[in-house]
Amino acid sequence: MREFFDAVVKMRNAQKRYFKVRSATALTDAKESEDEVDRLIRLGPPGSPPVPKQRDLSFLDAIGPEGGLGKATSTVRTLP
């Protein structure tokens, strides 16, 4: 649980840094931190089966290096 908490703190700090400086490097760092949190969420608590990876539009995926929401799209899935 501590690993997850630390990863979330790191992610939030990276996101705050991106919104402060708006650089491509800061955006990359924020996205990598978000990916780590997503990985830990998929793992779930110790002893539980991993959650399958789903690709959805994350908040930072919608933001380009310019800081705009320009070309954000999402995918709609239909259930069988």
- Per the rule left: phi > 0, alpha: psi between -120 and 50, beta: everything else, 67 is left
* pTM more than 0.75: no
Q: What is the pLDDT of residues 20-47, one digit of tens each?
A: 999 999 999 999 999 999 999 888 887 7
Query: How big is the CA angle at 54 (ends 61 and 34), to the nearest 5 degrees?
Result: 40
pLDDT band at residue 58 using 50, 70 and 90 as cut-offs: low
- What percentage of the chain reaches a pLDDT higher than 90? 44
